[in-house]
A = this chain, B = another copy of it.
Amino acid sequence: MTKECCWCNFTDEEKQNILFESAYWYVFLADNQDYIGRCVIVLKRHSESLSDLDLSEWIELKELINRLEKCFEKILGADLCNWSCLMNDFYKSATPNPHLHLHVRPRYSKAITINGSSYIDTEFGHHYQPKKETLLTNDNRKILLNMMKTFLNQEQK
C-alpha cells in the first residue's frame, strides 16, 4: 500500500515546503496560496481516516493546531481558521488508497501586506471557494514560507 502512495514518499522538492515537523506530522505550506498562509498537515505514516489515528497522534495534532492558529494570528493577523479533513480526491481512483491529511485556510477581515503587496480575503464571512487560484507570486510565497518557518520553529508553546 505505502509503496504506491506518493504521500508516503515526498520528493526533495516537495520537502522544501515543510514549515514544521513533529514526531507524527509534517506541516507543508500549500502550493496554492488561494488563502494566504494555507497549509496542509500530513500524517507521516500511511493511515486512511481520522478514526485510524491513535491517541498520541491525535494529541500532537492539537499541539500543531494551537501552534498554527497562533502563527496565523500573530504574523498575519488572521481572524479565524477554516480547518478541514476531506480526502475526496483519493476516491476518484477505482482502488482508493487515501493518506490522512488536513487543510487549514486562515481567514482575514483586513488586508494583509507581504513585501509591499496587499491581499484581501474577498470571501471573508463566507465559505472558502474550493477552486480558487493562488494569490501570491513565487517571490512573495518564499517570503511567507520563511516568515512562517521562523515563527513555527522558534515559538515555544
Contacts and interface: CB of A to CB of B under 8 A. Distances in A.
Q: Is the interface of A mostly helix, strand, loop or mixed?
A: mixed
A89 B80 CA distance: 11
A86 B59 CA distance: 20
Contacts of A70: 51
A5 interface: no
Nearest to A109: B91
A3 interface: no
A88 to B, nearest CB: 6
A81 interface: yes
This chain: how many copies in the complex? Answer: 2
**Size bracket of the A interface:** 35 or more
Given A50-B69, A51-B65, A84-B86, 12 more contacts: A49-B69, A50-B65, A50-B81, A50-B83, A51-B69, A51-B70, A55-B62, A80-B87, A80-B91, A84-B84, A91-B124, A91-B125
Interface of A: 49-51, 53, 55, 58-59, 62, 65-66, 69-70, 79-89, 91-92, 96, 98, 107, 109, 124-128, 130-131
